Every structure is written in structure tokens, then in C-alpha cells.
Structure 1
Amino acid sequence: MNIPKMPAAAMQRRLKAHLKRGGLAAYPTESCYGLGCLPTHAQALRRLIRLKKRPQHKGMIVIGADLPQLLPLLKRPSENTQTMLDQAWPAAKTFLLPAAGNVLPALRGKGRSKLAVRVPLHHGARALCHILKTPLVSTSCNCAGKRACKTEREVRRQFGGKVMIIGGRTLGQKAPSMIIDGETGRRLR
């Protein structure tokens, strides 16, 4: 069984302060390390996009410890949608759902009205959101066009001291999370 390394209390406080200042963090998820920040911090999102050299029209995935943690970022989902999500998660399944009006365009992607959200299968990633009491942006930890980082060592090689690293192992899944349109049920990835 893959037991995640959870940061000690002092590290948790340091991580919270780092993220509140607009810092970036890397942490293990199902298939690779995720690169994230607070989804409400515009400066951090711009920093993340620049660091990855990511096209600005692409949206980001946001992960949470559970559905209630993600709800402030979404338009109120129907009872049927909430039931579907409760039955689907935790899993390596990302759903595109209508974003709340206050969600930053850089998070949705330019010209897009939906937000990609997931309650990850990776216990450590869920626990991190629970400990921090906030959802996190979760994009693959790599520069655009490069292979995603699968280990802490690869994160250090690719990004050096530009991100705070939360160590641990991925679940070893080969493919990134499935992306499903939450309104139509159509699989997009």
C-alpha cells in the first residue's frame, strides 16, 4: 500500500504561509506530481502559467478534499449532479462543471465558463486539501511539452527551488485523470 508522507505541523504552517503569499507547491497525485497554488490567488495563477509556459487559453484542474470544499467555486449543481459526483469520487475522474461567477478566468481558461474539478483518488492529495482547508490548483508538474514529473527528484531537476515540494509517491497510474463533461456525461480525455 502506498502511504503518503504528510508534512509535519511546522511544515504545514510554512506551506500555508507560502501559498497565501502566492507561492507554488508540487505534490504527488494519481499519475504524476501536481503543480498547484491557491485557486483564488490571481498572482499565483499567473506565476504558475509562466513557470509551466502554459498557453493561457487552457483551464486548470482544481482538486479538493471533498465536494463541499469545491462547491464555492461552482454554480450550484443539481441534486442529480451532486449525487453523481458523490458516487464517482474519490477517483482519477475530473468533471467539467459550470464555474461560479467569481472564478478567475486564468483558472477556467480564457472564454470558458466551466471549471475542471476533482476529488482525487490519491489519499495524500486529498489530505493536503483537508489540512490546508482549501482546494488547490492541480496541473501536471512539467513545463509545456515536457514529460510530467513522476518523482520528487524529477521535480527538483525541472523546477529547482521555484516550488515547495511535498514529498511522496504517486499512485503509479499511467494515464492522467479522465475528464468528463459533468452536464453531458461525454468523456473528453
Structure 2
Amino acid sequence: MNHRIRAHLKAGGVLAYPTESCYGLGCDPMNRRAVERILSIKGRPRHKGLILIGASLRQLTPFIAEIPDASRLEKYWPGPFTLLFRPSRRTPKWLTGRHDRIALRLTAHPESARLCRSAGSALVSTSANRSGMKPVKSYRECIARFGRKVLVIPGRIGKRKNPSTILDFESGRIFRP
């Protein structure tokens, strides 16, 4: 499966996979064409920006301008917190949209983490749905909704009822409880 996932991502493909609260759509964050495919599938405006998930801090630090002290991060990660950081210079604008922050989460969901490890990098992670609609909660629903537009990874979503909390790491301001 690892080889198939890597090949799909390298070719600019989009994945649908289980996360903490729903199925997510993901791709290689450095592949603009793949990111644009996700935005098109969702009907999501480009200016909103996207979340990246990783299986390790090492997968996320290339996107952060100033790497924070690990002991501060341990309060939130791994877990259901999406943290906002000032982006590194290499972070593409198509990931941040009109914002001056990059949204990152060190996932605690075993299947999402395994997928990031298989990919060898962080992945874009956004709910598998059209913008404004309810997210997909099962493998079968994902196949029915997206068909051949994405590679659907079977698995179970986590027990969380709500999406991750989003907060600015520097200021502590909460954007989504």
C-alpha cells in the first residue's frame, strides 16, 4: 500500500482517508495542481487556506518560520489541536490563502499518522465534503460521494464529534473551539 500511496501522491492525486472526526481529503502540500484539485472537489475558496497534518514534528517543521520549544508543543500535540504558526519562506501561498499563518496538526489518529508515514511527508487535510455540507463519515459514503475522483483509503474514523480546535500558537487566540 505504501508504494501505491506514494505513487498516487507523486502523480498529483488526491486521497480520502479516515481522521479523528470524519473522512478527510489530502494531497502533497507542495503540489499546487493537487491542492487545486481538492479545492475544486470541495468547492472551497482559495483564500481560506488549508490545514496540514503530520505523523511527526519533523514532517511539520519545514512549514514553520521559527520552530517553537518542544515542551510548549507537547501541551497540544499529538492531538486534536490545529496550531497556527508564521509560515516558513518555503511554504507556498496556496496553503495559507489570504492568511499570514500556516495551520498544522500533529495527528494522534493512528491511520492518519500511518498515511503520513507512508507518504513520507505532511499532507493537506480538509474534511471530505463539498464546502458547507456535512463531512463524510464512512468508507462506503466516501466511495459513493467521490467515486474515482480520489483514492479512498479504508479505515475507521476516530471518536471525536467535532473538528479540531484551531488556535494561534503565539497569541493563544482560539479561532475554532
State TM-score, norm by structure 2: 0.95
Q: Out of 97, 106, 120, which is 1:109 matched to? A: 97
SS of alignment partner, residue 118 of structure 1: strand
SS of alignment partner, residue 34 of structure 1: strand
Matched, 1:86 2:74: yes
SS of alignment partner, residue 85 of structure 2: strand
Shift of 1:87: 3.1
RMSD, aligned CA: 1.1
Q: Out of 133, 138, 150, which is 1:163 matched to? A: 150
Matched, 1:145 2:132: yes
Structure 1 unaligned regions, length at least 5: 1-10
Deviation readout 1:15-47 (Å, 9 max, x if unpaired): 111100110001101100110000110110111
Q: Return structure 1 stretches of 4+ with deviation > 6 angstroms.
A: none
Give the counterpart letter for 1:169 in structure 2. Answer: R
State TM-score, norm by structure 1: 0.89
Q: Equivalents in 1 of 2:68, 2:150: separation in Å?
A: 37
Give the counterpart letter for 1:85 in structure 2. Answer: L
Q: Equivalents in 2 of 1:63, 1:44: separation in Å?
A: 16
Percent pairwise identity: 43
Q: Equivalents in 1 of 2:68, 2:128: separation in Å?
A: 33
Q: Equivalents in 1 of 2:78, 2:85: separation in Å?
A: 16
Q: Equivalents in 2 of 1:29, 1:168: separation in Å?
A: 9
Q: Equivalents in 2 of 1:18, 1:133: separation in Å?
A: 13
Aligned partner of 1:65 in structure 2 is: 55
Give the counterpart letter for 1:95 in structure 2. Answer: L
Give the counterpart letter for 1:27 in structure 2. Answer: Y
Structure 2 unaligned regions, length at least 5: none
Contact 1:64 1:126 in 2 (8 A): yes
Q: Out of 154, 178, 181, which is 2:168 matched to? A: 181
Aligned partner of 1:77 in structure 2 is: 67
SS of alignment partner, residue 39 of structure 2: helix
Q: Out of 30, 37, 40, which is 2:20 matched to? A: 30
Deviation readout 1:127-179 (Å, 9 max, x if unpaired): 21122210000000001121100001111121111000111111131100000
Q: Equivalents in 1 of 2:79, 2:7: separation in Å?
A: 29
Q: Equivalents in 2 of 1:105, 1:148: separation in Å?
A: 25
Give the counterpart letter for 2:90 in structure 1. Answer: N
Give the counterpart letter for 2:68 in structure 1. Answer: S
Contact 1:63 1:117 in 2 (8 A): yes
Q: Equivalents in 1 of 2:68, 2:76: separation in Å?
A: 15
Q: Equivalents in 2 of 1:103, 1:49: separation in Å?
A: 18
Q: Equivalents in 2 of 1:129, 1:84: separation in Å?
A: 23
Aligned partner of 1:99 in structure 2 is: 87
Q: Out of 89, 111, 115, which is 1:128 matched to? A: 115
Give the counterpart letter for 2:25 in structure 1. Answer: L
